[in-house]
Amino acid sequence: MFAAEEHAITTKLSAFCAENGLPDPGKIVFLPIPFAGHWGLSTSFFQLAAQNARLVKERTGQPTNVQQHAQEIAEKAAAYLGTPPSFARVEAVRGYLNLYFEPNEFARRVVATVIEAGDSFGSGAPKGQRVMVEFSQPNTHKAFHVGHLRGTIFGDALCRILEFAGYDVVRANYPGDIGLHVIKWLWNYMTRHAGERPMKDITQWMGDVYAEANRRLEENPDLEAEVRALYARWDQRDPEVVALWEETRQWSLDGFEDMYRALGIHFDRYYFNSTAEHPGKQVVNELIEKGIAIDERPTGGAVIVKIDELLGLKKDKYRVMVALRSDNTALYATEDLALAIQKFNDYPDLVKSLYIVDVRQSLHFQQVFKTLEIAGYSIAAKCIHIPYEIVNLPGNVVMSSREGTVVLLELLIGEATARAMEVVREKNPNLDAAQMQSVATAIGLGALKFPMLAREISKVVTFDWETALDFNGQAAPYIQYAHVRCCSILRKAQAEGLAISREPSAFDFPLHPTEIQLIDLISRVPGDVQRAAEEYKTLHITNLAFELASAFTTFYDACPVVKAEANIRAARLQLVAAAKQAMANTLALLGITAPEVM
């Protein structure tokens, strides 16, 4: 947001270094001054001092105290710079150079920028780079549970962030519509549930039939022969099996669509597991021809790739990838080899192909990408697996659709919304029924999504109802409430005939520290969006959204708006509008609705 200032200062500092016989500092990193109530840019000279110290030691053999030297450089630099335009003062402290903004001018500028940009405030210029994000990957013929929710919600938020940051994003889904689990389901359906079709809660029922199949096979392992026989019929495209598969698969897909709609998530492109089977086998043949894969089928084995051996590694790292079963049926690896290539055929200009998939598949993706690399596919370098940790139940119980120990998503959304509804009814009984419903949905979904996005993706989330439905503290409802208060002030002002000026306000009064803090945070939105996009971390946005809400609430408590003197009121009304916009935009990046009332 202060790129022009940073650039000007960088230029002057480079000149300063050249004139003083110091090494060129290169790209100078500016960070906010990390003390509450202080607003400006900060940089340090430790690296420069250390670099110079090494040069001096090479030349003269004399050691230099880096801390002292950094402070000397900072002092000289401060003197050299003087006080640049738009800055209030410059100071050198303990090796740091702190440049304090002239707060009134920057306040005016930040607030005017936000109001001008509106919904696009914080977005980056188009980069002309396309990124594919594959996420969600639900299995048909199984339940959709909270375990899947994390990857789905994270993937959606990441797409929103990447898009806002300036990338062209392809949202891809890859349903597991074939495989052993589907065959087991079909087997159980044919032998126990033929002709059945529930009218509601289809996804849940599909999951029940699958869990039952596993129970039956566990109780009577002899039945596995029937399942294997059915798999063989599928592989030969037996019309009866194919027809049943097509019909029941659609039931699941319809159920998923309902759930995505409820969550506010959409996809641009569907790849299906089943359509990757055949191309996958072709890739495997190619690997055999190239001498990368070893065909052990003649001796009853599978087709394997001994990756560590091919790389000449001493220790087991990539191990052995099974590329094709001994009976010629496809595995996930078979299909993922083909799919990785297919994505670049469909979108040749992809700069990155991201996979948002559960951490337990890390080795699988390393094997697939490494095998493609060995086979000479340069796209392999652009394929990145972003592993997310699983969601556990309290007591470290893993959710498993095979065992049926899952919290179903429909149930969870329903419960979250119902709980939100209860609170809304209590806090704001004057809302009409439709408003209440939409507010409860916004709050319930926000409460659900926020904890999944606010955590490092590599950390396990333990799901419990109490935390997920806790509307207090560091959670989405707190931010939504701050947004509602902004709306409330603006409504009140309007009711009193105090329209917000479209001209930028002067902010020509002493700013309150809470006011400066709020404006400071608002100004960080564009930079944090870029950072979140570069690092694939939704966490940066949840942190910022919460800090914005916290800063606004503190400001709200300390500074009257509507009742302030006319010139202050005009400026603060604009500030409230800007804060509201900043919160709405960051929440939008998280896939969370910012209500006007609640």
Partner RNA sequence: GCCCCAAUAGCUCAGGGGAUAGAGCGUUGGCCUCCGGAGCCAAAGACGGCAGUUCGAGUCUGCCUUGGGGCGCCA
Q: Per CB under 7 A, which of residues 241..260 are in contact with RNA?
A: none
Q: Is 7 exposed, middle or buried (0-12, 13-18, 19+ CB in 10 A)?
A: exposed
Q: Is residue 11 helix, strand or coil?
A: helix
Is residue 485 involved in binding RNA (CB under 7 A)?
yes
Q: Per CB under 7 A, which of residues 562..591 are in contact with RNA?
A: 562-563
Question: Which one of 1, 16, 23, 50 is in contact with RNA (CB under 7 A)?
Answer: 50
Question: Which one of 127, 474, 498, 512 is in contact with RNA (CB under 7 A)?
Answer: 474
Total residues belonging to the chain: 598
Is residue 180 involved in binding RNA (CB under 7 A)?
yes
Task: Please choose, out of 256-264, 344-352, 361-369, 377-385, the segment that lies near RNA by the rule CB under 7 A.
Answer: 361-369
Q: For RNA, give the closer residue by CB, 265 or 468.
A: 468
Is residue 559 involved in binding RNA (CB under 7 A)?
yes
Is residue 283 involved in binding RNA (CB under 7 A)?
no
Is residue 427 involved in binding RNA (CB under 7 A)?
yes
Rg from Cα positions in the chain = 29
Q: How far is CA 565 from the centre of its chain?
A: 43
Is residue 333 involved in binding RNA (CB under 7 A)?
yes
Q: For RNA, give the closer residue by CB, 94 or 197.
A: 94
Classify residue 271 by its DSSP letter. -
Q: Per CB under 7 A, which of residues 376..415 are in contact with RNA?
A: 389, 396, 398
Q: Is 312 exposed, middle or buried (0-12, 13-18, 19+ CB in 10 A)?
A: exposed
Classify residue 138 by its DSSP letter. P
Q: Per CB under 7 A, which of residues 201..230 are in contact with RNA?
A: none
The least CB distance from residue 332 to RNA, in Å, is 4
Q: For RNA, give the closer residue by CB, 44 or 350.
A: 44
Is residue 11 involved in binding RNA (CB under 7 A)?
no
d(CA 402, CA 256): 19
Torsion angle of C-alpha atoms 203, 414, 211, 186, degrees rounded to 10: 0
Q: For RNA, give the closer residue by CB, 168 or 464.
A: 464
Is residue 437 involved in binding RNA (CB under 7 A)?
no
Q: Per CB under 7 A, which of residues 16..45 are in contact with RNA?
A: 29, 31, 33-35, 42, 44
d(CA 2, CA 128): 23
Q: Where are the alpha helices (DSSP H) in 20-65?
A: 46-60
Question: Which one of 151, 155, 179, 280 is in contact with RNA (CB under 7 A)?
Answer: 179
Question: Which one of 27, 59, 200, 315 is in contact with RNA (CB under 7 A)?
Answer: 315
Q: For RNA, give the closer residue by CB, 95 or 350.
A: 95
d(CA 515, CA 298): 76
Strands 40-44 and 31-32: antiparallel
Is residue 58 involved in binding RNA (CB under 7 A)?
no
Q: Per CB under 7 A, which of residues 139..168 are in contact with RNA?
A: 139
d(CA 138, CA 260): 11
d(CA 156, CA 77): 45
The least CB distance from residue 358 to RNA, in Å, is 8
The least CB distance from residue 590 to RNA, in Å, is 15
- Nearest residue to 362 via CA among 279, 289, 437, 458: 458
Structure tokens that stand for 280 in this block: 């996958």
Task: Please choose, out of 118-126, 177-185, 280-288, 500-508, the segment that lies near RNA by the rule CB under 7 A.
Answer: 177-185
**Cβ contacts of 299 within 8 Å, gap of 6 or more:** none
The least CB distance from residue 424 to RNA, in Å, is 5
d(CA 81, CA 87): 11
Is residue 553 involved in binding RNA (CB under 7 A)?
yes
